[in-house]
Each structure stands twice: as C-alpha cells, then as structure tokens.
Amino acid sequence: KNVKQIRNFAIIAHIDHGKSTLADRIMELTDTISEREQSDQLLDDLQVEQAHGVTVKSRTVTNEYQAGDGQKYELNFIDTPGHVDFAYEVSRSMSACEGAILLVDATKGVQAQTVANFRLAKAAGLAIIPVINKVDSQSAEVDRVESQIHNLDELLKDEKILKISAKTGLGVPEVLEAIVDKISAPTADDGDELKALVFDSNYDQYKGIVALVRVVSGNLTKQRQLRLMANQTDFNAGEVGILTPDKNPQDSLIAGEVGYIITGIKDPQKVRIGDTITYAEAPAKVTLPGYESSEPVVFAGLYPDESSYADLKLAVEKVALNDPAFHYREEVSDALGPGFRCGFLGGFHLQIIRERLVDEYGVSVLTTSPNVTYHVTTSDGQALTVENPGQFPDFSEVQYVEEPFVRATISTPNELLSEVMKLAEQYKGELDDLQDNNGLIDAIYNMPLSEIAFEFFNKLKSVSHGYATLSSKMIGYRVADMVQVDVRINYADVDSLAFVTHRLDAPKQTQELVHKLKYTIPRKLYPMPVQAMVEGKAIARVDVPPLRKNAAVSGDKKSVSKKQALLRRQNINKRKAAQNDIKLPQSVFNAILEVH
C-alpha cells in the first residue's frame, strides 16, 4: 500500500440533493458492491434513516478504483449527515478527509445546507469539487444552478463544474477521476509513532465497541496492545480492517488510511470520539487535537416506560457512544421515578435519539416535553441555569429570567416571502435584515430558541412547499417575561409536566392544554380536576371525566349515608392519586409540545 494512492473524501449536499444515490453509484462503479447486493441506498441502514430519508450517522466505505492513469486507488468515502441539527457531525467527519464533492440538485439549486456545508469544508481546508446532480430531470435548470455555484464563493468562481445524474450514472466516472486528480493524497505526519484519530464508533453485540479511525501517523498493525490516550485504557486490537462496506480484515492500516478497529471493549464510556489511539508499549507523546464538544440546546427527560431503568440506562449509554452530541445525566422525577435529563442539538436530534432507542435497543421510553435552558437570576442575586422546567425556582424568588436567542436565516424564493414572514412573526421572529442571495431572499431574524427549536421547521417546510430553508445559530440570552406553568392532576403537582412559557402566551396555551389533557389522562373511577397553575393561581381547569358513573352526582336512589360513604371513599382515592399513582402515557407529554 502506498499513501499516494489514497483519497479520503466526503460528499456534502443539502438534504435530498442525491448524496446517498451518488454514494451507491460510486460503490457500484468500483465493484465495491455487486449487482446482486444493490438495493436502493445501501448506506442508509439505520432504521430511522430509512424512515426519515436522511442520513443521521456518518458512514465510511473504502472503494478500490482503477483510475484512467492505470493506477489503483483507495477511495475512502466518509458520509456526513445532512440535517441542520447535525452540523457538528459534519465537521467531525470532514476532519478525516482531504476533499469534498459539493453536490447540488439541478432542480433546486444552492440551498441553506449547501452553503453551510460548503463553509465547513472550506474552513477545514478541503479541496472542493462542485457537481450538479439530477441533470436528467425535466425541471433541471443547469445553467442557473451553475452560475449560483460560481457566485457562491471566490474559491468556486472559475471552477469547472461536473454535471451528472446519480440516478442514471451519467457523468459519475468523471467524478471518480476528479477525486483522484483534484484531491490530494493524505500527508502522513512525520515520525512513526502511531497516532490514530477515533472519528466514529459503534457497538457490536458480540465484538464490543468498534472504533472507526483515521491513521494520522505510523502503522496500525493487528494483534498489538493499543492504548486510548484520553483515559489510558489498553486493549488488544483483535482485528483491524477497512469497510467495503462490510468489515474487511487487513494486517495493518498505513498512515492516511481510514478503517476500523475491533477493540473488544464493552464499556461505552471508554471509547470517546476524538480520542487518539497509540501503541501501549511505544505511546505517542502528545494526543491529536480531537474535537471541540458541542453544546446541547434542547433538553428533555427520558424515562423508562415498559422497560426497566437498567435497560434504558444501557441503551442510553450505547447511543451516546457514537453520538457525542447527545448528553445525558441521571435525574429522578416524582411522577416518573429514575430516568435521564438529556441534551440535544435540536428537536430533530431528540426525535432521532428516541427512535434509535426504540428501534436499535428495543427499549420503550417516555420523553417529557422538550425545553430550552433558561438563565434565572433570583431575588438574592444568584444566577441559576434551569435545564428542567420542574426545577424552575418559585416565582416569589425570581428577579428576572433570560431566554436563549438565535439568529435565523431563512432562504426563500421571492414569491413565498410574505408567507414566510407571516410565519416567522407568529413565532416571535424580529426581522433584522433582508438580503438577496443568488435569486433567493435571505430573511434574517432574531428569534427565541424556544420558538424555533420544535415545530417551526416543519411549519416552514409546509408554508413554503419545501422551498424555504433554515439555518440558525445561537446569539446569547435575553431578558424575557417567562413564567413556569405547573400542571396539577387531582390537586397534586406533576413535576414532569411543568413547562416554561412567555407570560402572554400562557392563558391560551394552558386552555388548549387542559382540554387536550382531558382526553389523554387515563381516567379513574372519580372525576379528576386538571389545573394549570401560574404563580400560584389556577388559570385553566378541566375535569377528567370518571370511568364509571359518579356516585355523588348520580341520581340513584341511594340512602344519604350510602352516598356519604361513597364520597368518603372517593376522597381517599383522591388523596392516593395526589401521591401520583397515575401512569402517564406519552400522549400526555406530547400535548404540551402541541400547544407551543
């Protein structure tokens, strides 16, 4: 093997522009997969990815390619996720590459994630190969899109742009040649100290943790004692190899190569993405720079539903293993018992984690309504960060509250601008600027994160028929008039149902909420009042109707004493319920999100 014959590359694109399709075509052209193995979008094999049609976890595949110059090359494709919530993983995967294919859909043109991913690739110093996809489509506008790409950046101004159809395969051989020509071979670091960067990892039920690495310097040979430098954990590399796309064992991986190591380690905490692997008997002196950790912006409680706490804990640890952006810590809720308070990159990330827990680990899980964090300054001057609305300080102790704000850029075709602006204002967006962006309009808003983090993205897709795109970044905290809403069922606070909202929205939201709860809270033999409390006052109330006729109000001809006996029993029941023996279904937590 020769490092000169290696190319490590990513494909970056907006969602649906054809990245998975192109990856499949490349594997097919290089005979990485045979005709028989081909199924649509082989790489999107996590169930959640197939369900949502987007890539969540990055994939790595080594393709052996016989180039036009007569030489054999090893083309290592490193997949990157395409959703706005995952920019962090995109830059992580890119750091294992020297180049990227910038793929743009000829029918849609440059969109928000095209721009965002391009900037990440440029910042990472990658060689960029611009490619227009879907030229076979009736609605392709190749010339328009070509000039959009040329105008995207100085770097692309005079670039030759390849035009392909990933679907039919037209032009794809030229893409392979461009990868060889335009992307440089990896440069091996000086010295023969082994340093391999862990850029991804996953859990194999039988083999333990499999680490995906890029060897930065030295030779990684199998059957030697290796060391994870962050926590000085030693292990034997039972097997090393490349992914083609299944595990393909090799004797060694050379500097510049990308592959896997079966670590045999079972404890997910030990193998950290961003860590450096070296030889135990000849360790490297310094670690590789690794990755900056990402800050979660959305939080929710995860609690066992039908599963045991122990099963949920194991599943949470395993999911966190290959998703360092997912944060968790243990917490106990009065109503739900022991569980986890978890941090996510956004609402979609939360949904993906939830589905992975269910699909990949078979646990049944309750997620409380997600929230953002608030900064609360108490009357005695203490600064608190509240990640759990149930732990919001009592209103009598609150001096002021600050909520997180984002700067959101919505790119939309001009003719949809007024619809988009109407929506953004409904979600408390303050328009800051309107800019022309290659025939699209960029509407730039300052918005509370709590407004944009959950339903907004779906609403935007629907008012713009999928044409508007959104990107946002945190700009800090601002003082806002927020209140905590406590939900009481049968006169007892249910901590896991508390939420924080803008004071002005509270009356309408709580009315809506209690009416939804009327039909989602499991009924008991007696009517149960549901109250939404703000600052100690009930501002909305309904009664969950009883399962059976209520003795106290029924017209049965019963003696007064019998009725009183029944009432007494109902009162005892009430008190029991007040100790929270009501089992809340997921729909109750969803109701809170729906009224936001």
> Considering the rule CB under 6 A, would residue 19 count as an interface residue with ligand GDP?
yes
Contact 487, 552 (CB under 8 A): no
Distance CA 450, CA 499 (A): 11
CB of 133 to Mg ion, least distance (A): 12
Which CB, 56 or 243, lies closer to Mg ion?
A: 56
Burial of 246 (0-12, 13-18, 19+ CB in 10 A): exposed
267 belongs to an annotated ligand binding site: no
Which of 15, 128, 243, 452 is in the footprint of ligand GDP by CB under 6 A? 15
DSSP for 222-276 reads TTSEEEETTTTEEEE--EEEEESSSEEEESEE-TT-EEEEE-----GGGS-TT-E
CB of 10 to Mg ion, least distance (A): 13
Stretch binding ligand GDP (CB under 6 A), from 30-38, 159-167, 180-188, 421-429? 159-167
Partner from ligand GDP, Mg ion, none binding residue 15, C-beta < 5-8 Å depending on class: ligand GDP
Which CB, 23 or 152, lies closer to Mg ion?
A: 23
Partner from ligand GDP, Mg ion, none binding residue 200, C-beta < 5-8 Å depending on class: none
Distance CA 164, CA 144 (A): 15
Burial of 263 (0-12, 13-18, 19+ CB in 10 A): buried
Residue nearest to Mg ion (CB): 20
CB of 294 to ligand GDP, least distance (A): 22
Which of 7, 8, 9, 18 is in the footprint of ligand GDP by CB under 6 A? 18
Stretch binding Mg ion (CB under 5 A), from 12-20, 27-35, 248-256, 332-340? 12-20
> Considering the rule CB under 6 A, would residue 133 count as an interface residue with ligand GDP?
yes
Stretch binding ligand GDP (CB under 6 A), from 160-168, 189-197, 389-397, 504-512? 160-168
Partner from ligand GDP, Mg ion, none binding residue 219, C-beta < 5-8 Å depending on class: none
Which CB, 134 or 596, lies closer to ligand GDP?
A: 134
User: Which tokens go with 117?
Assistant: 């991913």
Across 400-432, b (16+ Cβ under 10 Å) vs e yields ebbbbbbbbbbbbeeebbeebbebbeebbbeee
Residues numbered 31 to 60 that lie near ligand GDP (CB under 6 A) are 41, 53-55
Contact 91, 23 (CB under 8 A): no
Which CB, 16 or 442, lies closer to ligand GDP?
A: 16
Name the percent of the chain in helix, strand, coil, to the closest 5: 30, 35, 35
> Considering the rule CB under 6 A, would residue 165 count as an interface residue with ligand GDP?
yes
CA nearest neighbour of 304 among 349, 328, 343, 336: 336
Which of 134, 341, 349, 488 is in the footprint of ligand GDP by CB under 6 A? 134
What is the DSSP secondary structure assignment for residue 371, as one 8-state letter? Answer: B
Half-sphere exposure of 450 (CA within 13 A, CB side): 24
> Considering the rule CB under 5 A, would residue 412 count as an interface residue with Mg ion?
no
CB of 345 to Mg ion, least distance (A): 18
CB of 198 to ligand GDP, least distance (A): 25
Contact 105, 18 (CB under 8 A): yes
Partners of 436 in the beta sheet? 441
Amino acid at 567: L
> Considering the rule CB under 5 A, would residue 148 count as an interface residue with Mg ion?
no
Residues numbered 38 to 77 that lie near Mg ion (CB under 5 A) are 55
CB of 48 to ligand GDP, least distance (A): 14
136 belongs to an annotated ligand binding site: yes
> Considering the rule CB under 5 A, would residue 117 count as an interface residue with Mg ion?
no
Distance CA 344, CA 350 (A): 6
394 belongs to an annotated ligand binding site: no
222 belongs to an annotated ligand binding site: no
Half-sphere exposure of 309 (CA within 13 A, CB side): 9
Burial of 310 (0-12, 13-18, 19+ CB in 10 A): exposed
CB of 201 to Mg ion, least distance (A): 21
Which of 10, 16, 389, 398 is in the footprint of ligand GDP by CB under 6 A? 16
The count of residues interacting with ligand GDP (CB under 6 A) is 20
543 belongs to an annotated ligand binding site: no
Amino acid at 440: L
CB of 456 to ligand GDP, least distance (A): 21
Partner from Mg ion, ligand GDP, none binding residue 52, C-beta < 5-8 Å depending on class: none
Which CB, 83 or 272, lies closer to Mg ion?
A: 83
Partner from ligand GDP, Mg ion, none binding residue 136, C-beta < 5-8 Å depending on class: ligand GDP
> Considering the rule CB under 5 A, would residue 20 count as an interface residue with Mg ion?
yes
Which of 81, 82, 290, 448 is in the footprint of ligand GDP by CB under 6 A? 82
Stretch binding Mg ion (CB under 5 A), from 14-22, 58-66, 285-293, 497-505? 14-22
134 belongs to an annotated ligand binding site: yes
Partners of 411 in the beta sheet? 442, 469
- Cis bond leading into 245, ω under 30°? yes
> Considering the rule CB under 6 A, would residue 356 count as an interface residue with ligand GDP?
no
Which CB, 21 or 217, lies closer to Mg ion?
A: 21
Distance CA 161, CA 169 (A): 16
Distance CA 425, CA 430 (A): 7
52 belongs to an annotated ligand binding site: no
Q: Write the CB contacts of 39 (distance below 8 Å, at least 6 apart in sequence).
A: none
Q: Write the CB contacts of 31 (distance below 8 Å, at least 6 apart in sequence).
A: 64
> Considering the rule CB under 6 A, would residue 114 count as an interface residue with ligand GDP?
no
Q: Catalog residues that contact ligand GDP under the rule CB under 6 A.
A: 13, 15-21, 41, 53-55, 82, 133-134, 136-137, 165-167
Annotated binding site: 16-21, 133-136
Residues forming the site for Mg ion (CB under 5 A): 20, 55
Question: What are the binding residues for GTP?
Answer: 16-21, 133-136
